[in-house]
Amino acid sequence: MVLIQTVEELRDALFRIKSVGKSIGLVPTMGALHEGHLSLMRQARKENQVTVCSIFVNPTQFNNQEDLEKYPRTLDKDLELVEPYIDFVFAPTAEEVYREPATEKYDFGALEQVMEGPARPGHFNGVGIIVGRLFKWIEPDKAYFGEKDYQQLIIIKNLVKQLNMDIQIVGCPIVREASGLALSSRNQRLSEEERQKAANIYRILKESTLLATPNTEEIKHFVEMEINKIDILRLEYYEISDAETLQPIRNLNEAKMAIGCIAVYAGDVRLIDNIRYK
Ligand code: PAF
């Protein structure tokens, strides 16, 4: 495994690989790696001749300065974890990534007007900027993203179309703790009690899929009530949407694929999760 910190070194290293026609799989991350990230890397390893992982806590996607400062940074441990799966780790500084000022303005239309969009102003533009730059520098054949950030996954599929790049975006299933809690780098910030209570999120989502109604208002009401019963948890939103357009639906029968996406605070840690209804 080779650690690379500048765009120039990255281009040099990948130029040789591309010139012999090898396929490249990219796993973009912000570090603080866990089993969820490693599942993306295992899949990238299986499907590509060369694997690249980026580790960069991207300031332009944080709408909250405190969240950016508190984001866990564990580079040495991350490097050990990725060793079995990754050929090149790209871990640049913010100065390197933003040598060119971050002036790109992406328009993701209706996809960014729901859920995380209004909740985190500027977030998806920041994600678009960093992922767009990584795609241009690395030009991978495939790039791997977790389904936990479901809206991000759909937005990145849209980004690739806007950039007119031939990159296959691969979505990978959520990895959960035995308790059901979706793995997230932010879980490190949970107290033991918050962690235990946060496990109710997935339990409630699962129970909501068993309700005998296609009426999404009723399903949402159930989720809201159940989350409110758990002290420490504070619901930010629960939306049930068409899984392709991300637009809210009133009845599960309106969409070919329907997904429920949740954002909840456990103490002061913001967690997201989702579940498919069909
Ligand atoms: O999902 C993440 O960790 C980040 O949003 C990503 C895609 C690495 C961009 O910084």
Within this chain, do residues 89 and 114 fall inside the same structural domain, yes or no?
yes
| Element containing residue 204 per DSSP (H, E) | helix 192-208
How far is residue 261's CA from residue 259's CA, in Å, rounded to a whole number? 6
How far is residue 170's CA from residue 153's CA, in Å, rounded to a whole number? 9
Q: Locate the ligand 1 atom nearest the alpha carbon of residue 127 and give its number.
A: 9
Print the domain residue range for 37.
2-172
Ligand 1 interacting residues, C-beta cut-off 6 A? 28-30, 58, 61, 127, 130-131, 149, 152
Tell me, in angstroms, the distance from the centre of ligand 1 to residue 30's CA. Answer: 6
Q: Locate the ligand 1 atom nearest the alpha carbon of residue 156 and give its number.
A: 7
Would you say residue 18 lies in a domain?
A: yes
Tell me, in angstroms, the distance from the centre of ligand 1 to residue 56's CA. Answer: 8
- CATH code (residue 82): 3.40.50.620
Task: Report pLDDT for 85.
Answer: 98
Within this chain, do residues 16 and 119 fall inside the same structural domain, yes or no?
yes
Within this chain, do residues 58 and 152 fall inside the same structural domain, yes or no?
yes
Within this chain, do residues 20 and 105 fall inside the same structural domain, yes or no?
yes
Within this chain, do residues 106 and 142 fall inside the same structural domain, yes or no?
yes
Average pLDDT per 10 consecutive residues for the chain, totaling 278 residues: 98 94 98 97 98 98 92 96 98 98 98 97 97 98 98 98 98 98 95 98 98 97 98 97 98 98 96 98
Would you say residue 63 lies in a domain?
A: yes
Task: Report pLDDT for 171.
Answer: 98
Within this chain, do residues 116 and 37 fall inside the same structural domain, yes or no?
yes
Residue bearing tokens 């007119």? 164
Kindly report the protein residue whose alpha carbon is nearest to atom 2 of ligand 1: 29
Task: Report pLDDT for 209.
Answer: 98
Kindly report the protein residue whose alpha carbon is nearest to atom 9 of ligand 1: 127
Would you say residue 154 lies in a domain?
A: yes
Q: Under a CB-based contact definition with an 8 Å cutoff, are residues 87 and 53 in contact? A: no
**How far out from the chain centre does Cα 213 lie?**
30
Helices (H), 85-149: 94-97, 116-119, 123-138
| Amino acid type, 154 | I
Q: Is 85 exposed, middle or buried (0-12, 13-18, 19+ CB in 10 A)?
A: buried
User: Could you tell which of 61, 73, 138 is best to mutate to test the pocket of ligand 1, judged by most ligand atoms within 8 Å of the CB?
Assistant: 61
Best CA proximity match to 273, nearest among 174, 207, 152: 174
E-strand spans in the chain?
Answer: 2-4, 24-29, 50-55, 88-90, 142-146, 168-172, 233-242, 258-266, 269-276
Would you say residue 178 lies in a domain?
A: no
- CATH code (residue 238): 3.30.1300.10
Within this chain, do residues 145 and 197 fall inside the same structural domain, yes or no?
no
Concatenated DSSP letters for 147-173? GGGHHHHHHHHHHHHHHT---EEEEEP
Task: Report pLDDT for 126.
Answer: 98
Kindly report the protein residue whose alpha carbon is nearest to atom 1 of ligand 1: 29
Would you say residue 179 lies in a domain?
A: no
37 is catalytic: yes
User: Could you tell which of 58, 123, 125, 148 is best to mutate to test the pocket of ligand 1, judged by most ligand atoms within 8 Å of the CB?
Assistant: 58
Task: Report pLDDT for 134.
Answer: 98
Within this chain, do residues 66 and 147 fall inside the same structural domain, yes or no?
yes
Within this chain, do residues 207 and 89 fall inside the same structural domain, yes or no?
no
Within this chain, do residues 74 and 137 fall inside the same structural domain, yes or no?
yes
How far is residue 45's CA from residue 174's CA, in Å, rounded to a whole number? 18
218 CB neighbour count, 10 Å cutoff: 12
Q: Locate the ligand 1 atom nearest the alpha carbon of residue 54 and give its number.
A: 8
